[in-house]
Amino acid sequence: MPIVQISRIQHRRGKRTDLPQLAAGELGWVIDEQRLFIGNGTVADGAPAVGNTEIVTSGSSAFTTALNHTYKGYLGDSTPVTTSVSRTLQKRLDDYVSVKDFGATGDDSTADVTAIQNAINELYIDTDKTDTRSRRVLFFPAGIYRINAALKIPPYAHLVGEGPDKTIIRNSGNNAVMVTQDNAGNVGLNITAQVNQIQISNMTIRNTVAYGGVSLDSAKEVYFNNCKFQGSYATSSPADASTSKGVTVTSTTALPCEKIYFNQCQFTKFARLVDMSFDATNVRFNDCDFNTAYYGALIGDEWDSSTTNGMTVGPRDIQFTGNSWSTISQQAIYVKAQQTVEAPSRNIISNGNWYAKDVANNFEGVGSIREVPVLRYDQDECSSIMDFFERTDLRRSDGSSELNAAPELQGIGVQTKAIKSQTLADATTTAATINEYPGLAGKGLKVVYKIVRGTLDRTGELIISASTNGVSYDDTYTESGSDCGVELTAAQKTDGSSVTNTVVFQFTTTDTSGSPGDATIDYQTTIIA
């Protein structure tokens, strides 16, 4: 049916300066500004005010200058917090910067590397670098951002996602997912100024090929929070791969890495979850999870000499605190030996970590004859403090005593174990085991203890020396009152006819016919590897 014109709508039209008060419902078209208004009508007719109301069109300025935002605070039952400051919507929206504002999609099919790099450069490099207002938080909405080249992260970059396995940056190129750069765009050993004040949180940094996660080059004051570093390493064919590093560092002697912090992060499926050989100090891993790798943390592997630029002293003062480690073929932490006067890789500390039973057994299970030490310190000034080793405890209770487990810690270092408490049964005339220490040959051991038996008590220190010639010990103590009737000894464990390297801490007690009866020992062990 054809459209038939039955009337023509009348309205006013003209320039903005000539727009009069319109009648109720009357339209007024501003020709020069391409804007449309409608008359309010009179207050008597119910209008809130006499005047004209603009109807939003493509030519309207409402969303840029006319429509304002005023913070209202909490509008509940209590008196809200308010402010009289009014800002345009444009300015309000500019408080928030998303990579999607620069064209990134996060759809796992579009190549997002250029859009993301443009966003990073615009916020932290291309703008006036001396104006702190340019250093905004760059937000990555949930999605998979596909890249094929390393993202270059400059000073003051602050990248935030919506959480691991929600915001994912996925790299398929033969390079790391992220590298640091200076303000001139230099990377690696070409950096000319310290790359500082970087924060990255709430995202997954994933590499789908056997290359790295993040390379921190001449970086200082870098913070990773709640990030997941994920590679492509598979346990079906366990082998080392020197290019597959979850986190690594590169330094020059003039610009070493320092003050690098990882909090509540996950490291998984890299051949080397952490690999550091260049100069680096004050590196912290707190409350993190390390799993599925050939090595956990490999320290000093590529350090060659003190004359190499950036390898003057190597990595030092690296601390792992409150982390969990599982499904790792070789050592969880391995500090490589270097034969120099000024030896690198000092003060590597493991404190309060949990090492699962499937660490350091070549993915062959508990009791494997290919077990290696969980921690190996071949440099001095390294220690293990209050760590828990599930593998060792399982060997004492699962009946697998025919194999001598590798030690928890091997090399040069001090291991301080948690305090334990045990009942020493009355009338134990044949030496019974209090604890076992596998692989202790060539090591020293100190047991500080307190024994309570009824009203009697003893405080002492048992020193044990283990070597290929056997085990010797010396028990020095002070008792209150009479002899409490407990003897502490040490011996090498025997499996059948074979003497192993396992040292057994043991006891005997006198027969008190039930009074005072059993004794209790509280003890703490320190092992000098």
Output the domain CATH number for residue 369: 2.160.20.10
Question: Residue for token digits 């993190």?
Answer: 288
CA-to-CA distance for 411 and 169, rounded, in angstroms? 39
Cis peptide before 516 (omega within 30 of 0): yes
In a domain, 6, yes or no: no
Q: Is residue 47 domain-shared with residue 166, that is, in the same domain?
A: no
* Per-chain mean pLDDT for the chain: 88
Chain segment 207-261, per-residue pLDDT in tens: 999 999 999 999 999 999 999 999 999 988 789 999 999 999 999 999 999 999 9
Q: Is residue 255 domain-shared with residue 379, that is, in the same domain?
A: yes
In a domain, 83, yes or no: no
Note down the domain range covering 506: 420-528
CA-to-CA distance for 35 and 19, rounded, in angstroms? 11
* Residue 181 pLDDT greater than 50, yes or no: yes
Contact assessment for residue 389 and residue 407, using Cβ atoms and an 8 Å cutoff:
no
In a domain, 89, yes or no: no
In a domain, 76, yes or no: no
**Stronger pLDDT, 305 or 16, i.e. the higher one:** 16
Q: Is residue 159 domain-shared with residue 179, that is, in the same domain?
A: yes
Domain boundary among 416, 440, 461: 416
Q: Is residue 32 domain-shared with residue 109, that is, in the same domain?
A: no
Residue 501 sits in a domain whose CATH number is 2.60.40.1680
Number of domains in the chain: 3
In a domain, 88, yes or no: no
Looking at 238-351, list the stretches that DSSP marks H as alpha helix, in order from N- to C-terminal side: none
Task: Give residue 61's pLDDT.
Answer: 60
CA-to-CA distance for 392 and 400, rounded, in angstroms? 11
Contact assessment for residue 212 and residue 178, using Cβ atoms and an 8 Å cutoff:
no
Task: Give residue 376's pLDDT.
Answer: 94
User: Is 348 buried (19+), middle (13-18) or exposed (0-12) by CB count in 10 A?
Assistant: buried
Which tokens go with 94? 């500019």
Q: Is residue 53 domain-shared with residue 139, that is, in the same domain?
A: no
- Comparing 17-26, 87-96, 135-144, 462-471, the range with the smallest average pLDDT is 87-96
* Residue 343 pLDDT greater than 70, yes or no: no
Chain segment 45-65, per-residue pLDDT in tens: 888 889 999 887 766 665 455
Q: Is residue 177 domain-shared with residue 224, that is, in the same domain?
A: yes
Q: Is residue 42 domain-shared with residue 177, that is, in the same domain?
A: no
pLDDT average, residue stretch 18-45: 89
Which tokens go with 475? 């028990």
Q: Is residue 104 domain-shared with residue 62, that is, in the same domain?
A: no
Q: Is residue 341 domain-shared with residue 322, that is, in the same domain?
A: yes
For the question of whether the overall pTM of this predicted structure is more than 0.85, the answer is no
CA-to-CA distance for 461 and 340, rounded, in angstroms? 36
Q: Is residue 242 domain-shared with residue 373, that is, in the same domain?
A: yes
pLDDT average, residue stretch 329-333: 96
Q: Is residue 100 domain-shared with residue 123, that is, in the same domain?
A: yes
* Residue 282 pLDDT greater than 90, yes or no: yes
Q: Computed from CA positions of residues 80, 86, 87, 89, in that sequence, does the dihedral angle turn out positive or negative?
A: positive
In a domain, 74, yes or no: no
Q: Which of 179, 171, 311, 296 is nearest to 240 (CA)?
A: 296
Give the Å distances, CA to CA, from 411 to 189, 326, 350, 447. Answer: 32, 22, 14, 20
**What backbone phi and psi angles, to 5 degrees, belong to 114?**
-65, -45
Domain boundary among 385, 416, 447: 416
CA-to-CA distance for 27 and 44, rounded, in angstroms? 20
pLDDT average, residue stretch 437-450: 85
- Most trustworthy range by pLDDT among 127-136, 310-319, 448-457: 448-457
Domain boundary among 375, 393, 416: 416
Task: Give residue 34's pLDDT.
Answer: 87
Task: Give residue 146's pLDDT.
Answer: 98
In a domain, 459, yes or no: yes
**SS3 readout for 41-99:** CCCCCCCCCCCEEEECCCCCCHHHHHCEEECCCCCCCCCCCCCCCEEEHHHHHCCCEEH
Q: Is residue 107 domain-shared with residue 237, that is, in the same domain?
A: yes
CA-to-CA distance for 394 and 367, rounded, in angstroms? 9
In a domain, 81, yes or no: no
